[in-house]
Structure formats: C-alpha cells, structure tokens
C-alpha cells in the first residue's frame, strides 16, 4: 500500500494517505478531499517525515487548485502545519509557483491546476530517485568507515518508505546494507513519546526481513558502552546553513554518545532538507507538542491484535494537570555530525562552505 497517492474518482480528485497513526495494527487509507483535511492529517501525524511531507504539501496545493479553492490560502495553511520540516514548505512553494506561473501565462483554472499537479508528481518522482541515490552513497560511506561489513547500526524515529516517495533516507541505507549482506543488526530506538521507532521502523524492518532489535531510548547509552554500535544513521527535518541538524527529539543525545564512544554519526537527507535561509541551529523553530503525549500512554493507533488497548485511548501515567516539556525535535550541532549523505553525494566534514557548494551543484528547483 503506497504511503501517498493521487486519485481521481468520479466525485472529484482526492489525496489518499496510508494512515500511519493506525500502524502497525492496521493498514488503512485516509482520504483527503481538501487542504484543511490534509493539514489535519499532517498535524495528527497520519502522514509524517520530511520528504513525504514535501510531497504531501505539493499535492495539497494541487488538490486546492483542482477543487477550486483559494490556492494561496491553502498553501499558507499547509506550509504552517509543521514549522520545523523545511521540506513541507518547499513542496508547497514549488507547486504554488507552478500554479502561479501557469496563471500568469494565461492558463485557465483547470490548466493551472494541472500545472500544480505536474509539479507535485515531479517532486514525488524525484524523491524516489533521490532515495535510491542516497542509499548508494550511504552504503559506500559505511563500507569506507567500517571496512569488513557486519555493520551494527542504530537508528532513531522512522526514515523508511513511510517518509519517502522511495525507500527512505537513513533506513534506505540500512536496507541497502542488508541486501548486500553487510548488516549484522539494526538497533531501533522506540522513539518516545509517539513510538515511531517501535510502531513504524520495526514494522518496516520486519517487512523487509532485516535483523533488528528494539530498545528503549534510554537504553542507548548502555548499548554504546557495551560496544554494540558501529554507526548511527538518522534522517533530518531541517539542516541549517551551518550544518546544524534538526531531527526527532532524542537525536542530539545519540550524537553526544556517538562522539564520546568514537562511533560515526551520519545524517541522511535529500538536498531539499538543507535550508540556506536558516543560518544556524539557534534559528530553527522547534515544534512543541501537547503534554498528553507524555503524560498518558496513548494509543492513537490501532493496537496489534490482542494488545487490549482501545484505539484513541490513553492511560494517565502522571498526576492530572501535569505539564510536560514535549519538543518534537532537537538540534544537533555540526561538529557532532560525521557526515551528511544526500542524493548528490556526501558532505564530510560538515561545514557551511561544503553545504553551500552542495546546494549550488544540486538539481534543486529554485522557488521564487
């Protein structure tokens, strides 16, 4: 079942999402008929992960255009749905620019909507191609850093096909190592509080027959201390111009652990995740999420059969009224990053100059 797809039933065009809040217990599609429905799906994490958010944002603009809604209003709402993820705004602006360009050229509403849809489909296709190239570059880097194979890789959150038009970012590298017979173990952080590692990465690893083990986030230190981690592979939601990396909260502690234990810490992300307009990590807006995600053991997803928890339910684990600090992301400084792997190649060491050169030579479409 694809993560995201455009469909045109008789009643009008729709955007169909694999509802990730219901995994791993159930594979269910969520149908969005307008941009507000897509905004809600994005905020609820029914669709999540930087690359696929860009794709969703572009399709959302196309959907608004095809349905005859105000495209600029829809674009602003979509771009603001998750402020840390730069790919979302990029996808929105790309489709919006295609729509505006068509209108400026004299196109009618239907043709302008078609231009926005073509831009979304192009981004979807490019992301799949980028995923494949990142896997190649990432595996080559692992083999260079860790000669001899038998890689034991720790990953955080979810970075597979569920976040991409292809096979993902960091997960795609681990999958390439598995297919090449060079992955000894994939260590999967559960990724509190919403368990994207346990629910989604373990789900994808199992489907691909990969050797994997799930661990609680706070067990990572003991895993490093035992010498069981050869490399850390993570994705990114935004990379600042200086190489600071915003990713799922819990990534920064892994970078600190990796540096102390002399383990490579590798970020895998498409060039579109690099934001030259954000100068450094301090300039990245970090999304803050609701306290109940921490103060309750929630089941916004459909549980695995026999789990005995109702979907949408929550069991309080803290006194009522407890406020929780719940940032969705944290920021890792560039000096803790061994390398950034993109579809255009590897940046190592990570410097502002190297990232600027990478962006300049990439095939990234400029949005004016």
- Res. 228 pLDDT band, cuts 50 70 90: very high
Cα–Cα distances in angstroms (integers) from residue 208 to residues 20, 167, 180, 230, 288, in the given order: 18, 11, 13, 21, 33
- Res. 107 pLDDT band, cuts 50 70 90: very high
Same domain for 341 and 325? yes
Buried b (16+ CB within 10 A) or exposed e, 202-223: bbbbeebebebebbebeebeeb
pLDDT at 112: 98
Which residues touch 19 (CB under 8 Å, ≥6 apart)?
A: 28, 29, 30, 41, 46
Residue finishing a domain among 127, 144, 164: 127
**Span 234-251, average pLDDT:** 98
Same domain for 316 and 223? yes
CA 173 to CA 351: how far, in whole Å?
A: 22
- Res. 315 pLDDT band, cuts 50 70 90: confident
Same domain for 174 and 116? no
Same domain for 256 and 322? yes
CATH number at residue 220: 3.40.50.10470
Same domain for 200 and 170? yes
Residue finishing a domain among 127, 150, 169: 127
CA 73 to CA 35: how far, in whole Å?
A: 9
Length of the chain: 368
pLDDT at 298: 66
Residue finishing a domain among 127, 153, 174: 127
Indicate if the pLDDT at residue 304 is higher than 70: no
Indicate if the pLDDT at residue 161 is higher than 60: yes
Same domain for 169 and 110? no
Of 148 and 34, the structure prediction assigns the larger pLDDT to: 34
Same domain for 155 and 107? no
What pTM was computed for the model?
0.92
Residues 178-200: pLDDT tens digits?
999 999 999 999 999 999 999 99
Q: How many helices (H) and strands (E) does the chain have?
A: 12, 16
Same domain for 155 and 93? no
Pick out the residues of the known binding site for substrate: 48-50, 82, 196, 247-248
Indicate if the pLDDT at residue 152 is higher than 50: yes
Indicate if the pLDDT at residue 166 is higher than 80: yes
Q: What are phi and psi of 231, to 5 degrees?
A: -160, 155
Q: Which of 19, 189, 230, 237 is catalytic?
A: 237
- Whether the Cβ atoms of residue 239 and residue 266 lie closer than 8 Å to each other: no
Residues paired with 154 in a beta bridge: 187, 232
Q: Say whether 72 is catalytic.
A: no
- Whether the Cβ atoms of residue 299 and residue 314 lie closer than 8 Å to each other: yes
Same domain for 170 and 120? no
What is the number of domains present in the chain?
A: 2
Q: Which domain holds residue 114?
A: 4-127
CA 30 to CA 49: how far, in whole Å?
A: 17
In a domain, 368, yes or no: no
Same domain for 161 and 50? no
Which residues touch 17 (CB under 8 Å, ≥6 apart)?
A: 3, 4, 29, 30, 31, 32, 41, 46, 47, 56
**Which alpha helices (DSSP H) does 271-365 contain, by range?**
292-295, 352-361
CATH number at residue 21: 1.20.120.420
pLDDT at 309: 39
Same domain for 233 and 92? no
pLDDT cut 90: percent of the chain above it: 90
Residues paired with 339 in a beta bridge: 266
- Whether the Cβ atoms of residue 273 and residue 120 lie closer than 8 Å to each other: no
Residues paired with 32 in a beta bridge: 15
């Amino acid at each position: 079942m694809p993560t995201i797809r455009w469909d045109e039933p008789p009643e009008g065009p729709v955007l169909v999402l694999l509802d990730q809040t219901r995994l791993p217990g159930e594979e269910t599609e969520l149908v969005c008929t307008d941009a507000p429905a897509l905004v809600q799906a994005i905020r609820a994490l029914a669709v999540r992960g930087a690359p696929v958010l860009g794709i969703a944002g572009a399709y959302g603009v196309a959907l608004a255009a095809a349905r005859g809604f105000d495209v600029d209003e829809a674009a602003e709402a979509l771009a603001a749905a998750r402020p840390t993820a730069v790919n979302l705004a990029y996808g929105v602006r790309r489709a919006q620019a295609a729509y505006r360009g068509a209108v400026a050229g004299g196109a009618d509403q239907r043709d302008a909507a078609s231009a926005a849809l073509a831009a979304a489909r192009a981004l979807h296709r490019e992301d799949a191609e980028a995923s494949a190239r990142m896997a190649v570059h990432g595996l080559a880097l692992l083999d260079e850093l860790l000669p001899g194979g038998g890689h034991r890789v720790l990953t955080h959150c979810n970075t597979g096909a569920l976040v991409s038009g292809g096979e993902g970012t960091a997960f795609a590298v681990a999958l390439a190592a598995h297919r090449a017979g060079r992955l000894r173990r994939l260590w999967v952080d559960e990724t509190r509080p919403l368990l994207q590692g346990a629910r989604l990465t373990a789900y994808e690893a199992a489907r691909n027959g990969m050797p994997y083990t799930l661990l609680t986030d706070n067990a990572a230190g003991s895993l490093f201390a035992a010498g069981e981690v050869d490399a850390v592979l993570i994705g990114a939601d935004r990379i600042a111009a200086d190489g600071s990396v915003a990713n799922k909260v819990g990534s920064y502690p892994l970078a600190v652990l990796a540096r102390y234990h002399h383990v490579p810490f590798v970020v895998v992300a498409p060039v579109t995740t690099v934001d030259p307009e954000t100068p450094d990590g301090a300039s990245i807006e970090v999304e803050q999420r609701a306290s109940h995600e921490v103060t309750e053991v929630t089941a916004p997803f459909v549980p695995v059969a026999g789990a005995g928890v109702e979907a949408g339910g929550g069991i309080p684990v803290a006194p009522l009224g407890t406020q929780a600090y719940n940032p969705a992301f944290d920021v890792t400084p560039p000096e803790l990053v061994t390398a950034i792997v993109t579809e255009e190649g590897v940046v190592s060491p990570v410097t502002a100059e190297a990232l600027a050169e990478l962006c300049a030579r990439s095939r990234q479409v400029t949005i004016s």
